[in-house]
Structure 1
């Protein structure tokens, strides 16, 4: 008889925080969505003389997607000041950040350690007198790479 007990449930994707190395403000860790934790390989194709069935594909380098963070707009934020320094004054100061997925007790389950992030785009949602919606700011970052840790390790 097969064991029908289930020992593992995947974690929920809504209990997380984003910690920036440039901010100690507790409001700067709250985002409604995080995307761009993605990595893939670029490949070079090589054709071999006399072999017409396929091309050799060799991995060349890893490529990381841009990270996109969305949240209700903050009127005071170290992270936004960091963005404005880049866009207004062309001061691009790299920062590290951690995206921390937590369990029910608030303990880290998985930590994505994002290295050398710099601002790429800042966008504020449309202001519309006919809508009853909060203002959402979208922060887009370019980064070098991320590493993955389980728990607090």
Structure 2
């Protein structure tokens, strides 16, 4: 059997206990910030670089718009109204699992998202001469991302 790179079109998202189909997932980034330092007596005329804090990108999920389905907006609304009560909004955070699947529909790469919450919901754009599916978008902030590549 030859080794080939994995196709990126076969994936699933587990969200709040259910699996939801999405057309696109982006923002699965993790980055380490750089700390630069140089003390005054250094013989080198440059700074040293050390690893600093970890930074995670916001995750964007896109899917088709369905009649009578307000899950994106309802989740965003829970965060907003909970925060207006002078709380942290942590009650409405969710852990999310995103899995790239093989031909047998088994996970081969898994991204685990910790304490995600909805910060932005974007409804579809409308065009009278368009010939596309209506797509809605949700943007999530979170507190951690781990990658398992088995």
TM-score, scaled to structure 2: 0.84
Q: Number of residues paired by the alignment?
A: 141
CA contact (8 A) 1:45 1:55 kept: yes
Q: Is the 8 A contact 1:18 1:100 kept in 2?
A: yes
Q: Which residue of 2 aligns with 1:81?
A: 74
Partners in 1 of 2:69 and 2:124 — Cα distance? Answer: 17
CA contact (8 A) 1:99 1:112 kept: yes
Do structure 1's residue 48 and structure 2's residue 39 form an aligned pair?
Answer: yes
Secondary structure, aligned partner of 1:86: helix
Q: What are structure 2's unaligned runs of at least 5 residues?
A: 84-88
Q: Which runs of 5+ in 1 are unaligned?
A: 1-5
Instruction: For 2:52 and 2:126, locate their aligned partners in 1 and report how far apart those are by CA, in whole Å.
Output: 45
Q: Does 1:18 align with 2:13?
A: yes
Name the structure 2 match of 1:142.
141
Q: Which residue of 1 aligns with 2:27?
A: 36
**Post-superposition offset of 1:83:** 2.0
Output the TM-score relative to the length of structure 1.
0.82
